[in-house]
Amino acid sequence: MQTRRHFLKSSVITGSAILGGGSLGLLASQARAMPNVVLQPAITEFPIISNLPAQKMFSYTPGGPAPILRAKQGEPFHARLENKLPEATTIHWHGLRLPNAMDGVPFVTQPYVYENETFDYIFTPPDAGTYWYHPHCNTLEQMSYGLTGILIVDEKDTPDFDDDVSLNLRDWRLGSDGQFIDLYKARKSARAGTFGTVKTANWSQNPTYEVPSGGIVRLRAVVTDVTRIFKLTTKGAKATVIALDGYPVPNHFELDHHAVGPGQRIDLAIRMPDEEGSAVELINTSASKAWTVATLKTKGLSLKRDIRDLKPLPKNPVPVPDLQNAEHIPFEFTATAESAPKNGFCGTIGFSFWAINRKSWLGVSPDPMEPLAELKLGKSYVFSFRNRTPHTHPIHLHGLSFTLLNSNKRKIDPFITDTALVLPDERMDVAFVADNPGDWLLHCHIIEHQKTGMSGFIRIT
Ligand code: C2O
Ligand code: CU
C-alpha cells in the first residue's frame, strides 16, 4: 500500500510515473502477483488555467494528469482499475493488439466497472511504441473531463536517445471563469465537432521541458483530444518522423505540418541545438491561429550527437497480409443512416448524424447491433474506407493493426497504423491479417461522431 501511494504521489509531482514490476523492488514472485500500476479514476480538482479557480476534473490519479505508463515489449503488463467515480467506467488500451477480453468495451468485451469495483487488465504487448488509454464508457464526458493517458511500450533493446519526452495533447471546454462549459454543441457534432477553448500538453499550457544540449531527443506527441486534428511542425530545430501511431515508419521523413488526429500518435527525433538555453517549439498550425504546444529547452554542455547516427526503430512483429488472396470489404462513412438506431447506452448523446455502411450505432448497449462484417480467423482482408462526407474522420480499429496501402487523394508510403485519417472524399485501402479473434470496434475517434453514429464493430471467428 505504502509503495503504491508513494508512486501515485510522485506521479503527481512529475506528471509521469515509471512503473515497472521490477521497479517496485519486490521479489519476482510478489511482483508477478501485483499489478504494475493501479489506476483510480476519481473526481479531482486541478487548475488548468493557473490563476483561476480549479475545475472539477476526472483523473486516473488524485490531483493531476494521468500517469505516463510504461510497459515492456513482450513482457506481461498488469493494470488494475479501481473505479472511484460515481459512475461506471472501463479502460481501453488504444492501439494495442491484445486479447479481446482486455479491450475495455462494455457489453462487447466486458461488463461495466461500477463505483468501487475493480477490473484487472493483464496482457503482453507484442509491439513497442507509443499508445494510450481511455474509457470506453460515457466517453464524451469522461474523456472531456480528463480521462486520457499515455502508455509507452518500450522496445526490447532500448534505442539510443538522450531523452524521451511525451506529450498528451488535448483541449478543454472552459469558460472565462475557468469552469467547464457545455461539452458539445449538436450542430457542431454534425460537422467537424466541438473544439475546446483551452489547449494543453500534459494539462498545462505550453509546458517547457529541459533536455540535453546537442542531444537527440525522442518526442512523442499523442493526440488524446476528442475533436482536434493537429498539424504539427517545429521551430528552432528540424524534427524527423520516426514512428506513426506507435509503428516505426518505413522511411524517416522530415516533419512538415503533419496531420495528427484524435487517437493518433507521432514519434519525432530532434537533434537539439548545441547552445545551452536554446528553445525548440512544437507548433500546431491546424487552426487559423498557430500556437506553441510545448517547448524543449537545452541544458548543459553539448552532447554533440550526430543525427545521422539515428538508427531506425526495430520493426514490430505484425503479420504481413496476403494481398493476392485477401477479401475486399467496403466501408462507407456517411452523414446519413438508413437503419433507425437503437437507443445507445453508455453515454449516448441522443443524436444520430453519422453512419458506417448506412448504419448508425450510438453507443454500446446490452443489445448491440449486428457486426458490420464477419471475418475468418487467419485470413487476410483489405478494407476500403470511403469517406463520403465533407469532414475528415480518424477511423480507429480495435485490437488489430493494419497497413495503409493507398489513397485516391495522396501518395502514401505504406505504413502500419490503428487509426487512419480519412480525408473528405478520400478512398483508402487498408490491409491486415485477421489474427485476433473477437468483436472489435471500428469507429471515428472524433468522439461526437462516434457517439452520434459513426461506430460499429467487426467480428473475427
Ligand atoms: Cu481510442 Cu474505441 O478507441
Ligand atoms: Cu468523424
d(CA 71, CA 277): 33
Atom of ligand 1 nearest to the CA of 136: 2
Q: What is the mean pLDDT of residues 243-256?
A: 97
- At residue 365, the pLDDT reads 59
d(CA 111, CA 256): 43
Decide the pairing of beta strands 42-46 and 291-299. Answer: unpaired
Helix (H) or strand (E) holding 32: helix 28-33
Q: What is the mean pLDDT of residues 433-443?
A: 97
Residue nearest to atom 3 of ligand 1 (CA): 94
How far is the CA of 41 from the CAs of 111, 241, 381, in angstroms?
17, 33, 37
Residue nearest to atom 1 of ligand 1 (CA): 94
d(CA 457, CA 168): 27
Q: How confident is the model over 398-431, as pLDDT tens digits? A: 999 999 999 999 999 999 999 999 999 999 999 9
Q: What is the mean pLDDT of residues 88-94?
A: 98
- At residue 336, the pLDDT reads 73
Helix (H) or strand (E) holding 427: strand 427-433
Q: How confident is the model over 338-380, as pLDDT tens digits? A: 554 554 545 567 678 899 998 888 765 555 678 999 999 999 9
Q: What is the mean pLDDT of residues 286-301?
A: 97
The proportion of the chain whose per-residue pLDDT surpasses 70, expressed as a percent, equals: 89
Output DSSP code: residue 85.
Answer: S
pLDDT at 2 over 60: no
Atom of ligand 1 nearest to the CA of 441: 2
pLDDT at 249 over 90: yes
CA of 23 from ligand 1 middle (Å) equals: 29
pLDDT at 125 over 60: yes
**Other beta carbons less than 10 A from residue 278's beta carbon:** 16
Q: Say whether 327-460 and 2-154 share the same fold.
A: yes
pTM of the predicted model as reported, rounded to 2 decimal places: 0.91
- At residue 346, the pLDDT reads 57
What cell does 393 get? Answer: 474522420
- Which residue ranges make up each domain of the chain? 2-154, 163-309, 327-460
Class of the CATH-defined domain 327-460: mainly beta
The proportion of the chain whose per-residue pLDDT surpasses 90, expressed as a percent, equals: 79
- At residue 55, the pLDDT reads 86
- At residue 368, the pLDDT reads 61
- At residue 348, the pLDDT reads 66
Class of the CATH-defined domain 163-309: mainly beta
d(CA 294, CA 200): 8
Q: How confident is the model over 19-63, as pLDDT tens digits? A: 333 333 344 444 445 778 999 999 999 999 988 888 889 999 888
Residue type, 269: A
Q: How confident is the model over 144-171, as pLDDT tens digits? A: 999 999 999 999 988 899 999 999 999 9
Q: What is the mean pLDDT of residues 122-130?
A: 97
Residue type, 28: A
Which ipTM did the prediction report? Answer: 0.98
Q: Count the residues in the chain.
A: 461
Which ligand gives the minimal distance to the CA of 334? 2
- At residue 10, the pLDDT reads 30
* Mean pLDDT over the full length of the chain: 90
Closest CA to 135 of 169, 112, 161: 112
CA of 242 from ligand 1 middle (Å) equals: 23
Atom of ligand 1 nearest to the CA of 398: 2
Which ligand gives the minimal distance to the CA of 224? 1
Which ligand gives the minimal distance to the CA of 333? 2
CATH architecture of 2-154: Sandwich (2.60)
- At residue 51, the pLDDT reads 87
- At residue 11, the pLDDT reads 34
Residue 375, CA atoms < 13 Å, CB-side half-sphere: 28
CA of 351 from ligand 2 middle (Å) equals: 14
Contact 41, 81 (CB under 8 A): yes
Residues lining ligand 1, judged by CB closer than 6 Å? 92, 94, 134, 136, 263, 396, 398, 441, 443, 445
